Structure 1
């Protein structure tokens, strides 16, 4: 059978018209879907901005059901579940995204990061660590390493924390020297607890190398020497601490004074403590100096400190002295110390938000709540 060319000429316009009509119908359907999806999305967003999270979740769930291929809707729904504390549902949403074969590389990495956050918030630290490690080399690399650093600190895995912090520092986002120094100090303390003196010493050496300006290695060095009975070395380490970090030295001032008495170095220790005390009068330094004073000198030092800085703890110690040792202005100084210490307690505190005020308010200035102030001051509760 031979086809008439005339029929071919007539079939071509018909086929073209049918194709054009099909494309128009498909385009209309696509436009309708795209128009409906943003409406559902913006409805959920509007509810979320109005802090109606339950209704927002319902709106996003409906939107995801209508458009299961929209990754943005899944991300919005998963993040909302996480904010609501529904971590299991958030995990399911983000795992569903990762199982999709049509997801782009960027969206897959974003879903992996969201999943790691879900595990982190849920307290599943092992799974969170695994999820964050999967993000190495991605645009989320820095955020993942910072999260891993937090995880290692929580689990007290100090060596792993030091390694991650060192890699973060090499990446150029900032200095982590101080934190790494603390990590090695923690390693030293754990080694000491196990009786591993060599390991503790090596860890402290690493801490000094990483953070040369940090005070904690010198403080721990003195404590280790003192526990081992090496009093002279302890004093030497703490003298180094005093020279480098006089502001931190009061933390070991009492132990320093006691070690000096044991080593027969009362005069030297008193001289060094006096130098630091002259720069920054401190109750810890005061207590250390009183260990090295005679009873008369200790009483006078206490009164002098009270005159310069009316502290409540010093006032309590002055009250333990015999009245014969009091100076003429001791009583006013005691009154000033007690009055200053009592000021923070003579306030009303909101039971809803904790806002404190000297005057009683029926409506809290902090949270705007009514009748949230107990009618009793803090000192009376």
Structure 2
């Protein structure tokens, strides 16, 4: 039986027509799906630009449902949840991304970083630490280390903080020698509080060697030496401080006066204080000079003359109030009221102020209690800024 090619000629156009129809149907379906997903996406973007976060979240959820394989929509949704403080929902979005087997390495690392930020913002520091450690060797490594450093400082884990800064410095992320000196000082203070004075002294000497220009290690070392009854060592340490970091001598001026009087070296200490006062007149150095001269000369009137010398250099309400406290006015009945008013007015002027956030305090801090910045407090009172 011979094959009739007529049927073949008739079947080819029919097959071509069916194939073309099927492709058109698939394209139409794909076009409709793509149209729905971008429409929801752009709707969410519009809500986001108008700061309507609730509506933006609903639109992005719709977009994710229409196209569940799009990772960018998941990231956008997770970031929105985090910004709104809905950390549990943000965690679920990013954990869902990490559970996908088809996720690229770059997106997986990005999702891991986003998950760490979720935990960090939620205050789950242990889970944040674990998530951040998984970012070692990724493009997010530097950011993860900075976040880990913040965690360790917040939890006062100074040893871990020191380890992180050493790795960061080794990787060329900056010079953290001063920060490492602070960590050693913090550990030394903890040892000193437990009565382990020799061990604390060793750490403070190490801190001074780590950051020779830092003021804190030598000031803390001088305080420890004073506690150990080593007045001569205190003077030696503070003389070194005056050479390496002269601007910080005022912070240790009361300690210098006390050690000088205890060791009988008031003349040498007085010369050092007067020299630095002439170079950099500050209220702390002024008060130290007055105290030392009053103790050695036995004449409070002559010592108070330094307040007038300071007023010749700087217009200071604090110095004027201290001078007035030792003087007798012609109308004595008004003296107490005037003095109380001046003392009240000068109290805010004698505080220290953080240069980073403006937090004011009566005492000088090495780390600001407000913004947690290190070395943000100048060694000067508010009136002198």
TM-score by length of 2: 0.80
Deviation at 1:7, TM superposition (A): 5.7
Shift of 1:15: 4.7
**Residue 211 (str. 1) matches residue 216 (str. 2):** no
* Residues 218-237 of structure 1 mapped to structure 2, 5 A cutoff: 218-237=218-237
How far residue 180 of structure 1 moved from its aligned partner, in angstroms, is: 1.6
Q: 1:311 aligns with which of 316, 341, 361?
A: 316
Q: CA deviation at 1:257?
A: 0.6
Q: How does 1:177-196 map to 2 (within 5 A)?
A: 177-196=177-196
Q: Contact 2:225 / 2:231 at 8 angstroms: preserved in 1?
A: yes
Superimposed CA distance per residue, residues 260-313 of structure 1 (whole angstroms, 9 cap, x where no aligned partner): 001111100100000110011111111111121131221211222233323232
Q: 8 Å contact 1:258–1:291 — kept in the other structure?
A: no
Q: Which is further off, 301-310 or 16-25?
A: 16-25
Matched, 1:295 2:269: no
Match of 1:169 in 2: 169
Distance (Å, rounded) in 1 between the aligned partners of 2:233 and 2:227: 11
Give distance in 2, aligned partners of 1:172 and 1:285.
Answer: 39
Q: 1:22 to 1:169 in 2, by over 3 A?
A: farther
In structure 1, what is the equivalent of residue 142 of structure 2? Answer: 142
Q: Relative contact order (alpha carbons < 8 A, sep ≥ 6): 1 or 2 greater?
A: 2
Give the match's secondary structure for 1:310: coil
For residue 225 of structure 1, report the CA deviation from its aligned partner: 0.4
Q: Distance in 2 between matches of 1:104 and 1:114?
A: 15
Structure 1: runs of 5 or more not aligned: 326-330, 346-381
Match of 1:118 in 2: 118
Q: Is the 8 A contact 2:158 2:187 kept in 1?
A: yes
In the aligned structure 2, how far is the partner of 1:98 from the partner of 1:280? Answer: 59
Answer with 222-231 or 2-11: which moved more: 2-11
- Equivalenced residue count is 334
Runs ≥4 residues deviating over 4 A? 1-17
The answer to whether the 8 Å contact 1:82/1:118 transfers is yes
Query: Does the 8 Å contact 2:159/2:183 carry over to 1?
Result: yes
Contact 1:149-1:161 at 8 Å conserved across structures: yes
Distance 1:20 1:136, change over 3 A: farther
Residues 205 and 264 (structure 1), Cα distance of their counterparts in 2 relative to 1, 3 Å cut: closer
1:227 and 1:85 map into 2 onto residues whose CA distance is 49
Cα gap change, 1:274 to 1:63, in 2 (>3 Å): same
The aligned residue for residue 375 of structure 1 is none
Q: Deviations over 1:183-227 (max 9, x none)?
A: 122122122222223432332233233322212111111111001
Q: CA shift at 1:10, angstroms? A: 5.8
Question: Bigger CA drift: 33-42 or 197-206?
Answer: 197-206
1:366 corresponds in structure 2 to: none
Deviation at 1:36, TM superposition (A): 2.2
TM-score by length of structure 1 reads 0.80
* Closer, same or farther: CA 4–216 of 1 in aligned 2, 3 Å: farther
In the alignment, the residues of structure 2 paired with residue 102 and residue 69 of structure 1 have an alpha-carbon distance, to the nearest angstrom, of 9
Instruction: Give the RMSD, CA atoms, in angstroms.
Output: 2.7
